[in-house]
A and B are shown apart, each in its own frame.
Chain A
Amino acid sequence: ETGVTQSPTHLIKTRGQQVTLRCSSQSGHNTVSWYQQALGQGPQFIFQYYREEENGRGNFPPRFSGLQFPNYSSELNVNALELDDSALYLCASSLGGSQETQYFGPGTRLLVL
């Protein structure tokens, strides 16, 4: 069974640029959630995709957007990068359903200069 994978592992961008982060879900999982973890803090929920539809969003501006593909892999796009977007971005996959455990990938560390 393949776990959750994310790419790239590290990324450096400058303010105002755009970035795309990628996530492959665990085999059999149809739900992907994205979280932002700033240094020294707990992860914060960005949004969740279930069967290619966004079904929930946290307190993040519209410049954070996403996609889920038919194979349930997912992308997180961030436009007009700001310095505060520097963080570890975590993807988690799960089976669709109430109270299902989310399994996390290793994360993408983004640095915005």
Chain B
Amino acid sequence: GNSVTQMEGPVTLSEEAFLTINCTYTATGYPSLFWYVQYPGEGLQLLLKATKADDKGSNKGFEATYRKETTSFHLEKGSVQVSDSAVYFCALMENQGAQKLVFGQGTRLTINP
């Protein structure tokens, strides 16, 4: 079946550091790919998405590029802030009957001032 694997956490960085969170997927076909963010005590917020190969999703300084060759969708940000501290989930969307999101296990990010 389809699956998503994220880099192990937790990740701790200093403010203004460069961020990469790795995400790879296994899927039949070419699913849409997503990054969601979850702040403490809250639900999931869509951060960005990409629907086809070579698409780049971007939002709030975060970027991720849909790489078909490496089946990856790594999340990057050039300069992180304390307010970026959260749990980040990579996900793909299956479309066999229901439109079902398959999530990775999440990566907890902590940014220190």
Contact = CB atoms under 8 A, between A and B. Distances in A.
Main secondary structure of the interface of B (DSSP, over half): strand
Interface of A: 4, 6, 31, 33, 35, 40-45, 47-48, 50, 55-58, 88, 90, 92, 94, 97-107
Main secondary structure of the interface of A (DSSP, over half): strand
A102 B43 contact: no
A100 B99 contact: yes
Contacts of B95: 98-99
A58 B100 CA distance: 9
B103 A99 contact: no
16 contacts: A4-B43, A41-B105, A42-B91, A42-B103, A43-B103, A45-B98, A45-B100, A48-B98, A55-B98, A56-B96, A56-B97, A90-B44, A101-B34, A102-B101, A106-B43, A107-B43
Interface in B23-65: 31-32, 34, 36, 42-46, 49, 51
